Amino acid sequence: MNGTDWGALAVNLAVTAAAAAAVLLATFAVAVRRDLHRIVDIAWGIAFSAVAVVTWLLSAGHGDDGRRLLVTAATVVWGLRLSAHIARRSRGHGEDPRYTALLDKAPGSRTRYALRTVYLGQAGLVWLISLPVQAASYSHEPLDLLAFCGIAVWALGLGFEAVGDHQLARFKADPANRGRIMDRGLWAWTRHPNYFGDSLVWWGLYLLACTAWQPALAVLVSPVLMTLLLTVGSGKRLLEKHMADRPGYAAYTARTSGFFPLPPRRAVLRHGR
């Protein structure tokens, strides 16, 4: 016996798929009414939190209480912090150019295209990426050293993401920095401390589900997919394409690591500014 209640987990997977879809469909209704699809970014963390809470409720009596509580709390803290940060950052702004460009390619109705490609697509991603949260909640194994290592990785990722977001927000709030590239603090070590932190969060949550080889293998898609989304999907790649023409950005990319934190390249610092 590997310590996971697979039958109950299968039921949970069906219910959480509906929960993720419900959050994104409600967001879709608000976005259509306001004609502002950027609010879907706020719903991203909320949807993960909803999946975690639903899983915690359904898994009572099917998994170790300590592991259930830990993985649920970790997911909710990460998800709500991210949603609150995005809500503050986007207050008073119009549509995100990413969504404008995407919906301009709609072959027919922009609204139906947005529903299919943005909202239902994100609901599917939330459900798939949250597999470790669901699997961990149905494990009978008590917390062990690997679980605490997972929480340590999660905490490092959350801290990296939160500090990076705070540093960037303070930088942008100073009128003297208008038009300048943020290259201080964590942003001097990686061009995307928030994305790197996000990736660590999900590798940490993955470790909480690694109670045996079967669940570890079954949910490996989650951190791998999240890391790919952040690096070659809609995260780093699109943002850097948008920033490419900014004055000083080429020099910044030349001296600063693209994802993993590394010391700034000193040779470029001496000659590239």
Q: What is the DSSP string of 206-231?
A: HHHT-SSHHHHHHTTHHHHHHHHHHH
Is position 42 within any domain?
Answer: yes
Number of domains the chain is built from: 1
Residue-level pLDDT at 13: 98
Is residue 256 within 8 Å of 248, Cβ to Cβ?
Answer: no
Is position 38 within any domain?
Answer: yes
* Distance between CA atoms of residues 94 and 86, nearest Å: 14
Which residues in the chain show pLDDT less than 70? 1-2, 267-273
Count of alpha carbons within 13 angstroms of residue 124, beta-carbon side: 8
Burial 206-241 (b: 16+ CB within 10 A, else e): bbbbbbeeebbebbeebbebbbebbbeeebbeeeee
The domain of 241 spans 6-271
Is position 1 within any domain?
Answer: no
Is position 99 within any domain?
Answer: yes
Over the stretch 8-48, which tens digit does the pLDDT of each residue have? Answer: 999 999 999 999 999 999 999 999 999 999 999 999 999 99
Is position 136 within any domain?
Answer: yes
Is position 11 within any domain?
Answer: yes
Residue ranges of E strands in the chain: none
Question: Can you read off the two tokens belonging to residue 142?
Answer: 């008590």
Is position 159 within any domain?
Answer: yes
Is position 62 within any domain?
Answer: yes
User: Partners of 257 in the beta sheet?
Assistant: 190
